[in-house]
Amino acid sequence: MSDDGDDAPEAAGRPDPEAVRTAVRDYVWTVHTTYLDHVRHLPPGERATLPLVAAGHVTVAAAASRQLHLVATTQRLLGPTGTAVSVDDEYLDCRWTVWFYDPSVLPALGVLGPAEDESDRVCRALGIVDTTYHLEVSPGGGLSAHHAQHSGVALANQHAQVLRDVDRLRHALPRDLEVVEELATCARLGLDRAAALLAADLTDRRFVPLRGTPGTDSLAAVLADATRR
């Protein structure tokens, strides 16, 4: 039997890279269009401040590790060296570019152990410090349109709620505006540990977040504490 024949079954079992890229592109498209459609009812000024709308253009790094990580950022990213692949899309006033990364073009993604495949470690591997959003998706079935629609709605609601919480917190803690702004930035960027420390400080340690508490939850807890005073 020829070498080509020996390799055929293995090749047939591998996902087609082009099909995977198309599925990821469609998923990002559905997340973004669902998000933008969902916030159309908001007042124009409030809608314009939502992260995905305010950015105008975002780059989405599709990074394949144990999970597929979709990290959107306003940072300028360079495509992977070698066989760089990217796609561009737009909807309403938002434009985005999707770059595809896996361990073959970014080896750091291939050395994340089972306990290390966390959002902040993937961001460090990509060199991203300013995230518009970070989604983790299970390969295969997790890339369905239904799942993407849920992600888009959840993301839009989360962004809108964070903006409202920050505005209320500014009014509740006028003497701590600098720390409030730091907390808001940490919650937006997904810097959960820094957000936890700031939340403990703002509440005089009445609220001490557990390790792994999302920054948005820390922000909401500080607001609840401030409004109870």
- pLDDT mean values, one per 10 residues, the chain (229 residues): 48 72 96 97 90 94 90 86 80 94 84 64 88 87 92 94 92 95 87 92 93 90 91
> How far apart are alpha carbons 160 and 126 in whole angstroms?
27
Task: Decide if 162 contacts 188 (C-beta within 8 A).
Answer: yes
* The pLDDT value given to residue 139: 76
* The pLDDT value given to residue 16: 82
Q: Where are the beta strands (DSSP E) in 106-184?
A: 131-137
* The pLDDT value given to residue 211: 83
Whether pTM > 0.75 for this model: the answer is yes
Burial bucket for residue 78 (CB in 10 Å: 0-12, 13-18, 19+): exposed
* The pLDDT value given to residue 8: 47
Domain ranges of the chain: 3-156, 173-228
Burial bucket for residue 210 (CB in 10 Å: 0-12, 13-18, 19+): exposed
* The pLDDT value given to residue 82: 61
